[in-house]
């Protein structure tokens, strides 16, 4: 297992952007000192988004995602989204929607042995990143088969407010609520266009102020026949202990088959071809 920091020049954002990438290492033959990856092997991949005020280091420092991913032999890509909510901002050179839904997949698949199959490609996030994962997972549903939102910030356009904080992100919240910036509108567009639906994992702590909006979105999806897995914790708030336990559940929910733990300091394997 490798934890890599990547910096590359983004065309969508027109600046150098950082990523953390967890990359599995399959097996090693100590007799020859070579890795025993099968020819053409491609790893299933989770694109994992941070929350407001965070960056690409949050998931590694706040949870045990590296350990969980190693156990599942899963690649994880963690970009920085600034405070963008992962959509195209009004200022030029801030197209976070294209960055997340198109460019990031193309660039990381060229850099690393990642599967380009929809069924092997997943997106998840917490809070702001939960909103970003849900919305981009719907907008780019032909690319992501599974979407997970933890304590997702889907509340801003539920009952759009004109407060300074909300307007700082959405400019005209009332107008934005009628577009696919509203995750409910985005899903209605998906249905109207007959596009593939992703499977959803949604969760929130009962002590989190975002619980009502997350329950509302869960019910909205369920009423429209979406495949939704819901989880909640009675004593959890908007906090890392909750997200740490939940990301493990997300990985257990993903279709990873009989994945064997990759090579790492906690799982030393000596095998020969």
Residue pLDDT, tens place only, 78-125: 999 999 999 998 878 899 999 999 999 999 999 999 999 999 999 999
Q: CB under 8 Å to 83, separation ≥6 — which residues? A: 52, 53, 128, 169
Lowest mean pLDDT among 11-20, 39-48, 139-148: 39-48
Domains of the chain: 2-253 (3.40.50.1820)
**DSSP-based three-state secondary structure for 31:** coil
Per-residue pLDDT at 37 exceeds 80: no
Which DSSP symbol is given to 101? I
What is the pTM for the complete model shown? 0.91
Q: Give percent of the chain with pLDDT exceeding 70.
A: 88
Q: What is the mean pLDDT of the chain?
A: 91
Which of 237, 212, 110, 75 lies closest to 156, judged by CA? 212
Q: CB under 8 Å to 105, separation ≥6 — which residues? A: 47, 116, 121, 143
Task: Give the DSSP letter string of 198-254.
Answer: PEEEEEEETTSTTHHHHHHHHHHHHHTT--EEEEEETT--SSHHHHHHHHHHHHHHS
Distance between CA atoms of 273 and 267, rounded to whole angstroms?
Answer: 18
Residue pLDDT, tens place only, 148-167: 999 999 998 888 776 767 77
């Amino acid at each position: 297992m490798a934890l890599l920091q990547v910096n590359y020049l983004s065309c969508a954002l027109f600046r150098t952007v950082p990523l953390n990438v967890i990359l599995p290492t399959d097996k090693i033959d100590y007799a020859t000192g070579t890795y025993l990856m099968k020819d053409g092997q491609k790893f299933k991949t989770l694109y994992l988004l941070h929350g407001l005020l965070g960056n690409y280091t949050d998931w590694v420092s706040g949870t045990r995602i590296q350990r969980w991913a190693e156990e599942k032999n899963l690649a994880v890509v963690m970009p920085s989204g600034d405070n963008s909510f992962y959509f195209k901002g009004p200022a030029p050179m801030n197209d976070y929607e294209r960055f997340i839904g198109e460019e990031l997949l193309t660039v990381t698949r060229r850099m690393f042995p990642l599967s380009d199959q929809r069924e092997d490609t997943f997106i998840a996030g917490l809070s702001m990143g939960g909103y970003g994962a849900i919305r981009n997972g719907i907008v780019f549903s032909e690319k992501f088969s599974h979407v997970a939102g933890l304590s997702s910030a889907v509340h801003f356009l539920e009952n759009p407010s004109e407060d300074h904080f909300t307007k700082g992100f959405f400019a005209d919240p009332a107008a934005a609520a009628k577009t696919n910036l509203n995750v409910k509108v985005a899903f209605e567009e998906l249905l109207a266009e007959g596009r593939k639906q992703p499977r959803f994992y949604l969760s929130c702590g009962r002590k989190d102020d975002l619980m009502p909006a997350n329950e509302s979105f869960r019910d909205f999806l369920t009423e429209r026949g979406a495949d939704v897995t819901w989880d909640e914790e009675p004593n959890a708030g908007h906090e890392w202990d909750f997200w740490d336990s939940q990301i493990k559940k997300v990985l257990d929910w993903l279709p990873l088959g009989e994945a064997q733990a990759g090579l790492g300091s906690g799982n030393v394997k000596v095998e020969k071809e």
